[in-house]
Chain A
Amino acid sequence: MNKLRLKFSKNGPIKFIGHLDVMRYFQKAIRRAEIDIKYSEGFSPHQIISFAQPLSVGATSDGEYMDITVNSMVSAEDVMNRLNDVMNEGIEILAIRELTEHDEKAMTAAYAAEYRISFREKFIPSYDWIDKFREYLSLDVLPAMKKTKKGEKEIDMKPMIFDFSFDKEQGYIRLLLSMSSSATLKPALLLQGFFDHIKEELAPHAMAIHRLDIYKYVENDGKPYIEPFITDDTQKRFYLNV
């Protein structure tokens, strides 16, 4: 039995497929690929699959993750290739890694998510929104009303923003935001806070949100850092100011 973590993309028209349908899509793809996936026990067995944080409908991604358990396989590479052979173009397995006993589930191991955010073409504003956004982030407190199970509560978004950069030529900003079971900041909430602050109207679905990757928390002997779930690139490490 092997546990595998798969990194996949979600681009093009596939971005309109909701999270539950993406799960159903993978269940079928796994059957088409004839992967020896492990099933649960019981009268209607289901495949053992779990996903990291769902992506909202309309957002694209190059860094989604799911964990699967297989009874047998030739190699992790082979699982990836078989899947890619039966998948649609917009949804592609980018990397695969075998998990050890010590690895936490994708769902619980997530610590942060990196986004690239821009305006959809027909909504691009005439003013320099990126400059304004930079000013906004320099405020001491970034209050927002967050919906919870019990209603709404006021939170400060600032500590949940780990990193920020931008590219004016390309017209996007890049954000590294907290995404864990205890503190998740969705880009939509931050954007709403920003446009409220600068008193500009944000048309529904005006922003294109692209998730670049999901990060996990690593605490070796040294300083704790976060890095993408699957990576060999030490450049991708991001040290937290704790």
Chain B
Amino acid sequence: MNYNLALSDDILLSIEKPERYIGNEVNSITKDKKTVDIRFAMCFPDVYEIGMSHLGIQILYGMFNSFEDVWCERVYSPWLDMDEVLRKEDIPLFALESQDPVKDFDFLGFTLQYEMCYTNILQILDLSKIPLLAKDRTWDDPIVIGGGPCTYNPEPIADFFDIFYIGEGETRYREIFDYYKKCKTEGVSREDFLHACAKMPGIYVPGLYNVEYKEDGTIKSMLSIYDDIPKTIKKEMCLEISDVFYPTKPVVPYIKITQDRVVLEIMRGCIRGCRFCQAGQLYKPLREKDVEHLKELAIESLKNTGYEEISLSSLSSSDYTKLPELIDFLIKSCNERKVNISLPSLRIDAFSLDVMSKVQDVKKSSLTFAPEAGTQRMRDVINKGLTEEDILRGSHEAFLGGWNKVKLYFMLGLPTETDEDILGIGEIANKVAAEYFDTVPKEKRNGRTIDIVASTSFFVPKPFTPFQWAPMNTKEEFLEKANKTRKGIMSQLNQKHIKYNWHEADASMMEGVLARGDRKLCDVILKAYNKGCIFDAWGEYFKFDVWMDTFKECSVDPMFYTVRERADDEIFPWDILNCGVTKSFLLREWKNALAGNKSSNCRNGCLGCGAASYGVGVCFENKAN
């Protein structure tokens, strides 16, 4: 236990949830700083409750701390009340375990999970008194390194980072640490250290690449300033997924967090190939963990944490081959321990309904379908395998099983979308309601009725997807479409059983700019932060108007990044990276989308995306002999 907190009692008692800043949680790691060579501050740039829910940090935290010479600690974004106190009292931002200033660390790592956290990165650097721009840093500052999904287009934040680590974190950090130690003993310059890192697989040092633009603002070239570093950086990936480190002693918070449970990662990657989905492409190929190994991890983690709930994590759990065996095991052992099982991302069918009826209270829980689009044509464009028949059959069985709440998720603004697709949303919702009335006769309803919630989000095209070429809708178009959706639902026979929710269009537009942005945005983000933009992912703090003013001030047109149609051969800011799938494959899929052609999933037939180059996973299933 560390009794020396960075903040005095009266400060901690004057702010909301002091537990966010005191560390000392169960399973958190304290080491003697004199006995370690490397101090790593790992940051999730959002509030504690969100950041603590992230599995990736728990993995790297556990792995780094298993190294004797490394002490990894955690940092989260101070909430606005604490931000104010730190500035007013001039207290430098500190890491939770040692409560020491972040500036004194060797590394400051950020996990970049969503674009709307970018101003929070600047808050962390600023409060830590680390220069915001990488070019201004010296050996007195930590090496600032970024990882996670947003590093697959890191260009909008390239100026703020020394290093981006592209891919799964388990593979290269040991190498980086060893080299760092060597450089420190030998007195190598910071520049030379970064230059050498840039030669390591998966390591992108943005400062060592120059971007030139064409007159129309698109990229002419991105060239390295040294000949001995790679022209493109290929994603790092774990080849033996059952053997890699897994945190069975995750840090257990005192306060309730967003994911307050044991998280069991069952596989990485996805076979599905939905064309809007970035994760589906980034983490290819699908690699399953050994089921016996998972059983051990589950029991060990429950014992070490005392959590009363366990959840499976993957992009599509139904595709895990040994799912029935794993779930049987979990139901048995969790019942003994009075532990709840939560099962997200299951396809609704007879198997999953049976399982769900065993692990949850049917009357209270709801069914979730994600058709994503209102018509079969549109679903073919996005390559979403789910059909209307699937939804109605699944609903029918669920209604027989006692369920009466259904959630339906859709996207608006998908490429080629027409009014018919938009109106189709109301029609599907209506058919699900009708299915309920057909399935459950009046005398069996016991005063209950069908309760449907249809939600739409606005589609944001992402790098490394077939839709990376797609124009995004304007804010006005989005709102008009949401309005049409609402009217479409209102005109349905069963409309009073359907509730409709839609997202904010402003935030989606901003996300669209950042997702496919280039280095010209660094300046905009920096200025927006200086004008007070922070916690942009939190609707109540997102200052759209300030952002728009800043674009104007910087002479950057946000529409350039969103509504513009991109040519087939345009050089994208993220083309300097290689996530395993080839650009030619993505273009082929884009053309298939526009033609309304579906593609098979990885198990039904290989599409030759390029991910097989890693030599593992689903690409080689059934090919072993």
Contacts and interface: CB of A to CB of B under 8 A. Distances in A.
Interface in B476-493: none
Contact of A31 (B19, B24, B306): B306
B10 interface: yes
Contact of A17 (B10, B254, B337): B254
Interface stretch (B1-9, B35-43, B615-623): B1-9
Interface in B16-46: 18-19, 22-24, 26
B303 A32 contact: yes
A88 B302 CA distance: 18
Contact of B3 (A12, A21, A31, A58): A12
B373 interface: no
Given A21-B255, A45-B338, A205-B13, A13 B24 contact: yes
A235 B355 CA distance: 60
A203 B8 CA distance: 14
Contacts of A88: 1, 24, 26
Interface string A22-37: 0011011111101000
A25 B254 CA distance: 6
B307 interface: yes
A24 B304 CA distance: 15
Contacts of A86: 26, 306
A34 B305 CA distance: 11
Interface in A1-45: 12-14, 16-18, 21, 24-25, 27-32, 34, 39, 43-45
A16 B22 contact: yes
A71 B365 CA distance: 31
Interface in B238-292: 252, 254-256
Interface string A78-96: 0000000010111000000
B12 interface: yes
A32 B306 contact: yes
B3 A57 contact: no
A205 B14 contact: yes
A13 B5 contact: yes
Contact of A16 (B2, B18, B305): B18
B307 to A, nearest CB: 7
Contact of A12 (B1, B256, B303, B306): B1
Contact of B22 (A13, A28, A120, A122): A13
A44 B364 CA distance: 12
A208 interface: yes
A214 B558 CA distance: 64
A204 interface: yes
B307 A16 contact: no
A191 interface: no
Interface string A189-227: 000000000000001111010000000000000000000
Given A28-B307, A32-B303, A205 B19 contact: no
Among A12, A13, A30, the most chain B Cβ lie within 10 Å of the Cβ of A13
B457 interface: no
Interface in B277-331: 302-308
Interface in A110-157: 120, 122-123
Contacts of B305: 28, 32
A28 B12 contact: no
B2 A120 contact: no
A171 to B, nearest CB: 16
Contacts of A24: 254, 256
Nearest to A122: B8
A122 to B, nearest CB: 7
B340 interface: yes
Contacts of B338: 39, 45
Contacts of A122: 8, 10
A169 to B, nearest CB: 22
A19 to B, nearest CB: 12
A78 B501 CA distance: 54
A58 B24 contact: no
6 contacts: A16-B19, A21-B254, A24-B256, A25-B26, A28-B306, A31-B308
Interface of B: 1-3, 5, 8-10, 12-14, 18-19, 22-24, 26, 252, 254-256, 302-308, 337-338, 340, 361
